[in-house]
Structure 1
Amino acid sequence: MKMVRPTVSVIVAAYNAMPYVTRSISSVAEQTTGRDVLEVIAVDDGSTDGTGEELERLSALYPGLIRVIHQENSGGPSAPRNVGLDHARGEFVFFLDADDHLGPEALERMVAMARRNGTDIVLGKMVGIGGRSLPMSMFKRNQPKTDVYSSRVYWALNPLKLFRRELLEQHGLRFPTGLPIGEDQPFTALAYLRASGISVVADYDCLFCTLRDDGGNTTVRTTGSEPRLRFLPHMIDLLLANVPPGPGRDHLAHRHLTVEVQNVLSHLMLEPRDQQEKTLARLAETVALIWHEGMNDRLSAMARLRLHLVRHEMLDEVVELVRFERELARTEVSTPVLIENGHAYARYPFFRDPARPVPDSCYDVTAQLGVRHHVARAELRGTTLHLAGHAYLHRVETRDVTTELVLRERDSRTEYRLPVTHTGTPALGADEDQGRYAYRRAGFAAAVDLATAAAGEPLADGLWDMCLAIGAQGITREVRIGSKRAGGVSGRPATHIVTGAGDAPRAITLHTTKPYGNLTLDIGEKKHRVTPHLVIGTARWSADDPTELVISGTSTLAEHPDVPLTIALTADTADTGVVAVVPVLRAPHSDDFAARVNVRDLAAGVWTGELRLGARGEWTMPLPALPKDLAPAKWRHRGLPWYARSASGTGGRFALRVAKTELVKAIVRRVKP
C-alpha cells in the first residue's frame, strides 16, 4: 500500500465486465501521469464471468496500483461506487465504468484543468464506441471555469468525471441505492450544484464509452417505463428543494422535460394499454410539478408538443407521436413547414386538426430553423472586401429573398447592414433531406468598400464580425459566416496596408476566429500587429560593391502596394536632423526585400537606423546590430582614406561609424611592433 497520498483515485465498479475490464484497468495504468500518483479501487460486485479473477491478475501485474474489493452482488453500480469512495484517498476521484477506458493523457489534462482554475469537477470529452450514444453539446469548446446554469454540463448527468474528493466528503455525497437506473443523476446533480466551479476539457478524447455486444450496459438491460418513472420524480424533487424558481431552475428542468420524458414515452410503447394509461397519468402528474407556460420559449417545438399531449393525457396521440419521431429519426428527412405571417410551423401530427385541437405554439419552429451557409470567396483587394457564397434557411424556399451582409463591431456593437446581390443556385438542396427541398436563389455576392461602408464613411478601428441576415418569405435569421468555406478560402490572418483618397494608411487584417472559424476584420491592429510581419535579416556588404551595405528582410504583409517601405539612417553629428532615406525594393513574386546603402554617400558620424513603413513612418522597426564579424569598408574620397565599420549600438541596435582614417594613428599602428 502506498503511503503517499495519490493525486487521483480511480473507482471501478465491475459486474460481469469481461473482456472489457482488462482494457479499462490497463488504460489507467498507462496514464501519462505515471502510476505513482494514482490508485485504482476496483469493486467486484459479485461477478460470475471471471471478472473478479481478472481484477486479481491485473493487481499482480501492476503492483501497488490496484486494490480489489469483492462483495456480494448489490443489483446496481451505486453500492460498489460508494464502497470505492469510502476507501479512496486521492485528491481527486474519477469514476470509470468497467467497460469503458481512458485516453492516455486524460487524467493529466483533467487534473491540470482543475488545479489551474480551482474547479471541483472536470468533464472530459467522451467518445461513443459501438454505436453508444452520448451527450455532446457541452463539448463544443474548452471551458476553464463555468457553472451548471450558464453551460450545458447538466445534460451530462453520468458520474464519469473528475471530482475533487473534498467536495464529495464535505457534502456527504453518495449514490442512492434504491434506484435500478438513474442512480448517478442525483449524485452528479448535487455535486454540480455544490461545486465552486466546473471545467470542461473538449479538445482531447478523454473517455471512450462502449456499447457492449452482449447488451450488458445497465440502461440497455433495464427496460420498461416504471424504473424511469421512479427516478424522474426524484430528480424533480431535488430541483425543487435545491434551486429557487427562475431561469436557473428552468434551465435544469429543460433537460428532464426533454430527455427523460422522451425516454419514458419510448418505453411506454412496449406496455399493454392499461399500463400505458397508468404510466401516462403518473408522468403527467410528475411533469406538472416543474413545467410552466414560461418555459415554452426554451423548449423545441417537438418537446412542446410532446409535453402538451402528456399533460392532457392524450394517450393515442402520444403513441402516434412517438411512432412519428422514430420514423423521422430513421429517414433523417426533416418535416415540411408552413410559412405564415413571418412564422414557420412544422407539420407534425395533429397540426390544425379540428378533432384534436393543439395550439399552434406547439408547432412554431421559427426560432429553430437551421441556417446553412458556405463562403466561396472572401478576400480583400485594396479597401474592397469581396464576398461570395450561398446561404439559406433550412426548409424555407428561397422566394422573396432579403439577405443582407451585417458588419458588427464586437465591443461597441455598432453595426452596418449592407446589400448583397442574390444569385441563382439551381442544384442547391439536392444532397440533403432526399432532395425534398430546393433553394434556387440562395447565392450571394458583395463588394464592400470599407472606406465608405459606415454610411459613407470609413469603418472605425475595431474588430468587425461578419454576419448574414438570411431572409426569405418574411423570416430572417442571422448567422456568423466563415466556419463553412471553400478550400481555397484561407482562414490564416492576412494583413493589408491600405489607403483611401488622401487618407493615412491603415492596417486591415482579414482572419477567422478560433475555434469556430468565423470571418472577422481587424481594423487598426486590435489583435494583429503590422510590425511582426516585417522581419529584418543580417546586413552584409555587397559582393559587387564592397562599400554598399545590403540590408535584407522579409515582409509577410498581404498587401501594401502604395505605401513606401524605406530604411532611414540618422547621423549622430553636430548637424542635427541629418537623415538618409533609402528605398526598400521588394523582390518580384516573393516576400523578400532589400535596401542598398552606399556608405560613401554618408557623412562622418555614427549612424543609427530603422525600417519605416508609410510616408510619415506610421510603422517603424529599429534595425538590428551589425554582425560582429563584419569587416570595415574602406574607400578613398578626394585622395583621403575613409572607412565604415560597426559601432557599439545601444540595446543590440544598428550603429555604423563613418569616418576619415587618421593617417598618423594608422602609420603608428602599422610600425608598432
Structure 2
Amino acid sequence: MRITDEKVSVIVPAYNAHDTLARCLGSLVNQTLQDIEIIVVNDASTDDTWEIMSRCEKQFPDKVIIINSDRNRGAGGARNMALDMASGEYIGLVDSDDYVAPNMYELLYSKAKDGDYDIVDSGFYQEATDTARLYTGDELTGILNDEKRKRLIAGGGYLVTKVFKRELWQKPVIRMRENVKCLADMDILIYMFLRASSIDNVKEILYKYCDLSDSATKTMDVDAYFDSVYGAMQAIYDSCHRMSTYAGAIAAVEYAILSIYSFGINRCIYDQIHKYGASTEKIKIYFDEVGIKEETLLHKLTLLKNKIVSNGYDMNPFVVAKIKELDIEIMKECDKRFGRG
C-alpha cells in the first residue's frame, strides 16, 4: 500500500518513449530520497510506452503511479493530469527523454527544507553540446526582490532542473497549456519566478538533458511554430500581468515576450533571410517578398505584441543587451508594416 503525502512528487509525461523511458524511470525509482512518488502519464502513445510503465509500477508499487490518457494532450496536458493528483510537498518535472542523478531529489528537497524555499534549482548537462550549466547563481538566491526576479526571468532556464512547492501550483491553481509543440514551459517558468518568494540552488549537475535528433522543434512547419509563438506570448501576459510583482519585473517579462516575437517573425521571413543573407540593409527586401500566408501571420503577431507590450525596444535594457541589433531592426520594420489594426 502506497504512502501518501510524499516529500517530492516527480511527474513524467511519456509519448512513444520506447527508447528512453526505461532509463528515465530507472533513474527515478533508484533515488536516494525514500519518500517520493513518481507519476508517469502515458500521453496516448502508439508504441509500448504503456507496457513499460506498467511493468515499472508492478515492480515499484510503493513509488510509481501510472495514468493512461485517452487522448494525446501534449507534455503540458499530461503534466496537468499528474499535477491534479500529486501529493508531495514539492513537485519535480522530468521529461521521458532525460534522466537524473540518483541523489537529485534528496539534495533538492534537503536544500528546500533547510531554508523553506519555494524553488530550488540545480545544474544540468546537455548531451548534444557537451555543456553543463546552472542558471540560478548564488547572487540570485534567497528572498526574491524585483532585481532578482528580473534577472531570473531574463536569464531563462528550465522547469525540469527544479523543485517547486506544491502550493505554487495550487494556490491559486496554475496549469500548463495543452498540445503545445514548442515554448511550452516559458510562461510557467516566468509565472513561478513572479509567484515565488524565495529560491536557492544546489551547485551540482543533477539533470541530464538528451536532445533527440527528431525532436518536434526541428521538424515543425510554419503554422505549428506560429501557433506556439503566439500562444506563448499570450500565455505569459495572461498568467502574469495581474500579479503584484509584475510591474517591478516588467522589463524582463517584456524582453521575454519580445524574444518570442522575434522568433516568430524570423520564422516567417526565413526564406528571404536565407536567400539574401542576414543584413540590416536587406530588411525591407525580406518583407517585400514575404508570402501572403506569412503576411497574415505577421499581422496577427504584431497586433498581439502591440496589445501586451507597453514599452519599446531601445529603452528596455534587457532587449538592448540580449537581442541582436539586426533582430531589433527586423522587429521595428515588422511593426511599421503590420502594426495597424
Q: CA deviation at 1:99?
A: 0.7
Identity of aligned residues (%): 21
Residue type of the alignment partner of 1:311: K
TM-score scaled by length of structure 1: 0.42
1:539 maps to none
Structure with greater contact order relative to length (CA < 8 Å, sep ≥ 6): 2
- For residue 53 of structure 1, give the secondary structure of its aligned residue in structure 2: helix
Residue type of the alignment partner of 2:242: A
Distance of aligned partners of 1:221 and 1:87 in 2 relative to their CA distance in 1, 3 Å threshold: farther
What's the Cα RMSD here? Answer: 2.9
- For residue 6 of structure 2, give the secondary structure of its aligned residue in structure 1: coil
Q: Which of residues 298, 305, 327 in structure 2 aligns to 1:280?
A: 298
Partner Cα distance (2:220, 2:110) in 1: 37
1:295 maps to 315
Q: CA deviation at 1:140?
A: 4.3
Q: CA deviation at 1:189?
A: 2.6
* Contact 1:287 1:311 survives alignment (8 Å): no
Distance of aligned partners of 1:157 and 1:279 in 2 relative to their CA distance in 1, 3 Å threshold: farther
| 2:45 corresponds to 1:40 | no
CA deviation string 1:306-360 (max 9, x = no partner): 23332332899xxxxxxxxxxxxxxxxxxxxxxxxxxxxxxxxxxxxxxxxxxxx
CA deviation string 1:271-316 (max 9, x = no partner): 7622332333333333334232563433237545423332332899
Q: CA deviation at 1:180?
A: 4.3
2:77 maps to 79
Residue type of the alignment partner of 2:187: P
2:283 maps to none
CA deviation string 1:102-146 (max 9, x = no partner): 112211111122111211122221221224999x57244485425
Distance of aligned partners of 1:304 and 1:130 in 2 relative to their CA distance in 1, 3 Å threshold: closer
Residue type of the alignment partner of 1:275: K
* Contact 1:94 1:162 survives alignment (8 Å): yes
* Contact 2:137 2:201 survives alignment (8 Å): no
TM-score scaled by length of structure 2: 0.79
Structure 1 unmatched ranges of 5 or more: 317-673
Paired residue total: 309
1:153 maps to 152
- For residue 46 of structure 2, give the secondary structure of its aligned residue in structure 1: coil
Structure 2 unmatched ranges of 5 or more: 272-289
* Contact 2:123 2:134 survives alignment (8 Å): no
Residue type of the alignment partner of 1:310: M
2:67 maps to 69
CA deviation string 1:403-442 (max 9, x = no partner): xxxxxxxxxxxxxxxxxxxxxxxxxxxxxxxxxxxxxxxx
1:174 maps to 175
Partner Cα distance (2:84, 2:94) in 1: 16
Partner Cα distance (1:20, 1:132) in 2: 19
1:248 maps to 249
Partner Cα distance (1:238, 1:83) in 2: 19
Distance of aligned partners of 1:54 and 1:142 in 2 relative to their CA distance in 1, 3 Å threshold: farther
1:207 maps to 207
Partner Cα distance (2:191, 2:256) in 1: 15
Partner Cα distance (2:295, 2:187) in 1: 27
Residue type of the alignment partner of 2:293: Q
1:312 maps to 333
Partner Cα distance (1:148, 1:209) in 2: 30
Q: CA deviation at 1:262?
A: 3.7
2:282 maps to none
* Contact 1:127 1:205 survives alignment (8 Å): yes
Distance of aligned partners of 1:206 and 1:150 in 2 relative to their CA distance in 1, 3 Å threshold: farther
From the CA coordinates, give the structure whose radius of gyration is larger.
Answer: 1
Q: Which moved more, 1:89-98 or 1:162-171?
A: 162-171
- Structure 1 residues 409-448: aligned runs within 5 Å: none
Partner Cα distance (2:322, 2:204) in 1: 34
2:267 maps to 267
* Contact 2:121 2:201 survives alignment (8 Å): yes
- For residue 176 of structure 2, give the secondary structure of its aligned residue in structure 1: coil
The structure with the greater share of residues assigned to strand is 1
Partner Cα distance (2:169, 2:20) in 1: 28
- For residue 98 of structure 1, give the secondary structure of its aligned residue in structure 2: coil
2:135 maps to 138
- Structure 1 residues 2-41: aligned runs within 5 Å: 2-34=2-34, 37-41=35-39
- For residue 42 of structure 1, give the secondary structure of its aligned residue in structure 2: strand
Distance of aligned partners of 1:205 and 1:239 in 2 relative to their CA distance in 1, 3 Å threshold: same
- Structure 1 residues 41-120: aligned runs within 5 Å: 41-120=39-118
Partner Cα distance (1:148, 1:281) in 2: 36
Residue type of the alignment partner of 2:251: D
The structure with the greater share of residues assigned to helix is 2
Partner Cα distance (2:208, 2:131) in 1: 11
Q: CA deviation at 1:87?
A: 1.6
Partner Cα distance (1:244, 1:40) in 2: 32
CA deviation string 1:353-408 (max 9, x = no partner): xxxxxxxxxxxxxxxxxxxxxxxxxxxxxxxxxxxxxxxxxxxxxxxxxxxxxxxx
- For residue 295 of structure 1, give the secondary structure of its aligned residue in structure 2: coil
2:226 maps to 226
Q: CA deviation at 1:17?
A: 1.1
- For residue 68 of structure 1, give the secondary structure of its aligned residue in structure 2: strand
2:284 maps to none
Residue type of the alignment partner of 1:138: Y
